[in-house]
Structure 1
Amino acid sequence: MLPSPVGPSLSWHGPAHLPGAHTRSGNAMGRTRLGLLTGAARAFAEQGLRRSTMQSVAAAAGVAKATLYNHFRTKDDVAAALLGLELDRLTTLAAGLPLEQALGALSDELGAHPVLRRMAETEPEALARLLAVDADRWADLTGRLAAALGVDGEAAEIAARWLVGVVLQPGRSSARHRQAARLAQFLTATGAATSA
């Protein structure tokens, strides 16, 4: 046993495993899953959602198809997990920014997102289905957006509808940023913004 750097009676045994805490194997599985989703994003951006296969997703991720199937049963499962990961990334990006900057940043991300742009060009009907979420998913989305932007639920719904419009018709970044500024002014003026 190595001597402890904090005193002779204490020894270091490594991190204690707590229920729900990550283990090395759990971290490796998380890295593998993240790599698979990164490959899926690459495959979906290059080929579109419809033309991508589990084989092309595995190839883009640099793994065997069996590895992909160890994590996901279907391409729809891969797409749903990628969507969840992207929602987490985008809400983290927006959280803590002033409202106008957060709306501008979200519009830039959605307006230039490679998978969404590919779908808009080659699979507009699939993109429309993706954006036409049911009431429960819409409530989850607007709830996340409300928390990230520091606005109430109604303001989050207005922002979400504007962002869906950005996905469908991104336009120029400068125009989106002007719109984000106006939307932030409106939400602030109506008292919907709980923090700036």
Structure 2
Amino acid sequence: MRADAKKNRSQILTVARDVVTEHGADASMRDIARRAGVGLATLLRHFPTREALFEALLCTHLDALTRKADELEASAPADEALLTWFRALVAFAQGYKGVVAMMAAAHTNPDSALYASCEAVHSAGARLLRRAQDEGTARADMNGDDLFALITALGWAVDQPSFAPRADHLVHLITSAILTSRPGQDARKAT
């Protein structure tokens, strides 16, 4: 890639991150191009679809969440690993308004630019859930799809201004419903 093309791509991503943080997943591609100081055609050469732009923006974060799941799996008790990872994913979703809807749609669409990253996050969560289930610290009647759906629902809720201030409480409620008591410990202490 030529130096000017690399500079344009980097500038587009920097501006897109700010615009998406301000306006969410429905941010205007024209607005991003204008603020980045490039033409819409230049933006579209680098990122032919909104999903391709989001994939570039979110890939680093989603990959970090997948790595975090691996680290937690190796270093923390199963219920704590699941809880810590769940909270990290919700915090990520709060940083990009509207991203959970895109993730939910991409998760079952192999043609989506976000599919691979979303599938990796989904698989990481399912692994953490299975580990907690195997240790008897998570409900046995749910699977990775259920976990992903709950995260998506919670991500949508905390995107709403009326629910955003209650995000921590909502995370606590949902994780309390997922996690069971460890022997000799109240479920609330685990969350």
TM-score normalised over the length of structure 2: 0.55
Separation in structure 2 between the aligned mates of residue 174 and residue 51 of structure 1, nearest angstrom: 26
CA contact (8 A) 1:100 1:181 kept: yes
When residues 47 and 108 of structure 1 are mapped into structure 2, their CA distance, relative to the original with a 3 A threshold, is closer
Which residue identity is paired with 1:81?
A
Number of residue-to-residue matches in the alignment: 151
Note the C-alpha offset of 1:106.
1.9
1:36 partner amino acid: I
2:149 aligned to 161, 164, 171, which one? 161
Aligned-partner Cα distance in 2 for 1:108–1:74: 25
Q: 2:97 aligns with which of 97, 115, 125?
A: 115
Secondary structure, in 3 states, of the residue corresponding to 2:179? helix
Quote the Cα distance in structure 2 between the aligned partners of 1:58 and 1:35. Answer: 9
Which residue among 2, 24, 38 is the counterpart of 1:64? 38
Deviation at 1:99, TM superposition (A): 2.0
How far has the Cα of 1:47 moved from its partner?
3.9
In structure 2, the CA distance between the partners of 1:130 and 1:107, relative to structure 1 (3 Å rule), is closer
Partners of 2:2 and 2:181 lie apart in 1 by 46
Give the corresponding residue for 2:48. 73
Contact 1:41 1:115 (8 Å CA) reproduced: no
RMSD: 4.1
TM-score normalised to structure 1 length? 0.54
Residues 118-137 of structure 1: pairs in structure 2 closer than 5 A: 128=101, 131-132=104-105, 133-134=107-108, 136=110, 137=115
Whether 1:42 and 2:15 are equivalent positions in the alignment is: no
Larger radius of gyration: 1
> Which residue of 176, 179, 183 maps to 1:185?
179
Unpaired segments ≥5 residues, structure 2:
73-80, 132-141, 184-191
Moved beyond 6 Å, runs of 4+: none
8 Å CA contact retained: 1:145, 1:160: yes
Name stretches of at least 5 consecutive residues in structure 1 with no aligned partner. 1-23, 120-126, 190-196
Partners of 2:66 and 2:124 within 8 A in 1: yes
Q: In 1, are the aligned partners of 2:24 and 2:96 still within 8 Å (CA)?
A: no
Q: Is the 8 A contact 1:107 1:176 kept in 2?
A: no
The CA deviation at 1:166 is: 0.8
Distance 1:103 1:34, change over 3 A: farther
Cα distance between partner residues in 2 of 1:83 and 1:58: 18
Tell me if the contact between 2:122 and 2:148 (Cα under 8 Å) persists in the aligned partners: yes
User: What is the CA–CA distance in structure 1 between the aligned matches of 2:47 and 2:109, rounded to whole Å?
Assistant: 25
- Which residue, out of 99, 102, 122, partners 1:142? 122
Secondary structure of 2:71's counterpart equals: coil
